[in-house]
Amino acid sequence: MNRWAVFWVFATLGATGIAAPDQWWNPGDDRPLPAYVEYANASGRLGVLNADGLVTTDGHPFFEALGPNGRACVSCHQPADAMSISLESIGSRWTATDGTDPIFAAVDGRNCPNLPARDTASHSLLLGRGLFRIALPWPPVDAAGKTIEPEFTIEVVRDPTGCNSGPLYGIDGEKREISVYRRPRPAANLRYVASSGFGVSPFIGKTGMLAAIDPDTSRPVNMNMMADAREVTLKTQAMSAARGHLELTKGLSEQALNRIRDFSCSCMRHRRFRARAVCSMSLTDRQDSARPPWLRGVTVCSATIRRTT
Ligand code: HEC
């Protein structure tokens, strides 16, 4: 292929928005994350903005594999997937690595850690629905690790993965865990999600119950993070992600926690546009008189608009 043919292929790929091969981030890739970058996907284009500018990922605790299983935060919070991870990316990694990518680690990449390795059936919730196992301690513990006496009991009614009633990982098992299965929430726009400024009081408006307290500042927090609000701040969240998903036994240093928090607060994601959209235009059409008064004078165009750039 001559020089011009190569140029033409790259120009065409750019124009049609086909995913560039380097859009998957492996831990320790060490390439910088630009201040603003766009990615194409099946439903349009998304943009990832870093309000603090270009991010040097070399040595950055969000981008480096810190624990023994080879994962980094970026493994499950990929820029090209709007700082989450898509089902397509999970499937591609399975094919490209024959199921050995760190995202398939036994701890939470299998339906239950004791299922056989590299067997699609063991990873069916991740491969089919993008769900990672979240192991919650039973009985629950507070941020300081102190057991909370629950005011209710829990019993297993149905257990398709076998994990919740198993002898090791089950509720009554040796480890006393409750396994729930969840999608990674995007590690972006967190400046707003985790904000505890305006409107945060010692009581939760909806329930009148006491709000959780930030262990660093002793101030109440908004309790908007995670599906169950179990993490109070970005720092406590990063610490438990490091222990859980990265299997880091010693936890993270204060400096690493601050860098992760600062990155999470400066990283924003947005949908640049949808590939298919229904348009409405201010033109009259033939059926105008047959319409309700509030729709007259407006043509609702049912054409599908396809944008490729
Ligand atoms: C194996 C995949 C995986 C890895 C690795 C991982 N996460 Fe997550 N992350 C998740 C899942 C799943 C959730 C949702 C958990 C829930 O709701 O219980 C989540 C949720 C979050 C949230 C909550 C966002 C919100 O809006 O509530 C933040 C912040 C986050 N992760 C940051 C991190 C950081 C920082 C690291 C690295 C220390 C990390 N994650 C590593 C899978 C992962």
* Mean pLDDT in residue range 120-147: 93
* Mean pLDDT in residue range 42-57: 94
Give the pLDDT band (50/70/90) at residue 39: very high
Question: What pLDDT does 18 receive?
Answer: 38
- d(Cα 291, Cα 176) in Å, to the nearest integer? 63
With a cut of 70, say whether residue 4 has pLDDT above it.
no
With a cut of 90, say whether residue 53 has pLDDT above it.
yes
* pTM for the model: 0.85
Residue 231: CB atoms within 10 A of its CB come to 20
Tell me: the pLDDT tens digits for 66-125?
999 999 999 999 999 999 999 999 999 999 999 999 999 999 999 999 999 999 999 999
Question: What pLDDT does 297 receive?
Answer: 57
**Among 157, 173, 65, 155, which Cα is nearest to 112's?**
173
Q: Is the CB of 81 under 6 A from ligand 1?
A: no
- State which of 226, 233, 266 you would mutate to test the pocket of ligand 1, scoring each by most atoms of that ligand within 8 A of its C-beta: 226
308 CA → ligand 1 middle, Å: 32
Question: What pLDDT does 5 receive?
Answer: 43
With a cut of 90, say whether residue 33 has pLDDT above it.
yes
Closest ligand 1 atom to Cα of 71? 5
Closest ligand 1 atom to Cα of 66? 38
With a cut of 70, say whether residue 9 has pLDDT above it.
no
75 CA → ligand 1 middle, Å: 10
Radius of gyration of the chain (CA): 23
Question: What pLDDT does 12 receive?
Answer: 35
Q: Is 88 within 8 Å of 80 (Cβ atoms)?
A: no
Q: Is the CB of 130 under 6 A from ligand 1?
A: no
Tell me: the pLDDT tens digits for 185-205?
999 999 888 887 777 888 887
Question: What pLDDT does 204 receive?
Answer: 82
Q: Is the CB of 136 under 6 A from ligand 1?
A: no
With a cut of 50, say whether residue 10 has pLDDT above it.
no
Question: What pLDDT does 287 receive?
Answer: 58
Look at 97 and 272; give whichever has higher pLDDT: 97
* Mean pLDDT in residue range 291-296: 64
Q: Phi/psi at 195 (nearest 5 deg)?
A: -65, 135
Look at 144 and 252; give whichever has higher pLDDT: 252
118 CA → ligand 1 middle, Å: 23
Q: Is the CB of 238 under 6 A from ligand 1?
A: yes
